[in-house]
Amino acid sequence: MNKIAVVILAAGRGTRMKSSLPKVLHCLAGRPILEHVLSVADGINQNKQVVVIGPEIKTIINPISEKWPNIEFVIQSERLGTGDALKVAQPSIGEYDGDILVLYGDVPLITINTLNTLIENYRNQEAGIAILSFKPKNPQGYGRIVCESDNLVSRVVEHVETTEEEKNIEICNSGIFVSNAKILSQQLDKLDNHNSKNEYFLTDIFSHAFNDGHKCIHMEVEDETEIYGINDKVQLAEAEKIMQQRLRVAALESGVEMIDPSTVWLSSDTLIEENVTIEPNVFFGPNVSIQSGSRIRAFCHLEGVKVGENAIIGPFARLRPDTNIGKNTRIGNFVEVKMARIGDQTKINHLSYIGDANIGSDSNIGAGTITCNYDGYKKSQTEIGHKVFIGSNSSLIAPLNIGDRSIVGAGSVVNKDVSDDSIVVARAKQEERSGAAARRRKRENKNDDS
């Protein structure tokens, strides 16, 4: 089986982002840009990954290494061009016996299918190099691919180096290519910076390879958005728009119903089963899964949540990380749930905060119920059993355990454990003073007259 290594060039300063955060760590659909590229690389059956970064963005190493521990990072100390960036990676790939796929850390919309097709064409045609090409509507700024009469690539010209005639070439270079490792290493050794920018252009390797008799081909990508690069916040927003549309279409095609898809925001890892209905203006943050038959009503915000079958969430509900909602459960309007397990058939219908809590099945949590989980120093847990009824406007002061089938009277402030099958009322005793209101009015009116 042919081996392939992936080199990702991610050393750009990202100054146009105007942000203290490295460009490739800005989020797209709920995860860093670079992680999208790494995930795609995982899908092509590679056995080695090298990421080239700049010295000022070493901060990306730890968060990325936590998820991809086998990645090798190399530092491009000076920005001397894309050719130099790949030369920096040469010690890591110079002795590699296989193929090299070159990707870019700021081109996150490329798909596994396109890369696999590029690699397949490269191998089937026994090429030395295969370039991913495209025909943009506006070729301004893109390098042009110059082909011979047999459609083999003879060279790639950077936009700043193109002649007026070459500017008319429609086929442009995406920057992504696959090459035999030995051929690539040989061509990198020939690079120089004798050009208008005094940089080492990676594109020069193609003319060197052609002159050495190696077969260079190109494959045109079907969807131009796949090679969309991100350099500033405007392009990041445009990439988000493209990614969201992809995610929505994928969800709809899998059997999810969206009443107004354009208003639903999804993360790249959102898992929604078929027969789920999503109403307008719903936000899915990272790590959310929704099981079949559930309905997410309008204006809900979910993040780090698992929702069971046939549940109804919202409208205007906020479900925060480490929350698990059971089957046939109802989380109503203006309810916030955080780090909680809510059992099957349980209802929390209105205006409640449930945090650091476990609630059993078939329980009813009345309007205005608050789990008081923080004492100013530490968080504590609230445990509510099965078939429990909590009356409206109750405050449950953790740590607290309320037993199965218990009833808590409305307006109670509960700070002691409640045993099974008990009724607890913990509020000030109601006191009525007959005629007191009339006497007060008379007294106040007399004061006004004086």
In the chain, what's the furthest Cα-to-Cα distance?
112
Question: What are the Cα distances from residue 182, in Å, to 90, 93, 213?
Answer: 11, 9, 14
Annotated catalytic residue: which of 159, 214, 350, 386? 350
C-alpha closest to that of 203 among 149, 142, 148, 151: 142
| DSSP per residue, 190-255 | T----STT-S--TTHHHHHHHHTT--EEEEE-S-GGGG----SHHHHHHHHHHHHHHHHHHHHHTT
What is the C-alpha end-to-end distance of the chain, expressed in Å? 104
Element (H, E) at 112: helix 112-124
d(CA 422, CA 29) in angstroms, rounded, equals 48
C-alpha closest to that of 85 among 188, 219, 239: 188
Element (H, E) at 34: helix 33-42
**Are the CB atoms for 73 and 61 separated by under 8 Å?**
yes
Residue 188 CA neighbour count, 13 Å, CB half: 21
What angle do the packed helices 204-211 and 181-188 form, to 10 degrees? 110
**Are the CB atoms for 319 and 337 separated by under 8 Å?**
yes
Tokens of 243: 């990614």
In one-letter notation, the amino acid at residue 417 is D
Residue 91, phi-psi category: left (phi > 0), alpha (psi -120 to 50), beta (remainder): alpha
**Are the CB atoms for 329 and 345 separated by under 8 Å?**
yes
Q: What angle do CA 272, 278, 279 make, to 5 degrees?
A: 165
Classify strands 99-104 and 4-10 as parallel, antiparallel or unpaired: parallel
Active-site residue, 159 included: no
For CA atoms 260, 262, 263, 266, give the dihedral sign. Answer: positive
Hey, how many other C-beta atoms are within 10 angstroms of the C-beta on 296? 28
Element (H, E) at 73: strand 72-75
Residue reference for tokens 């670079």: 34
Catalytic residues: 350
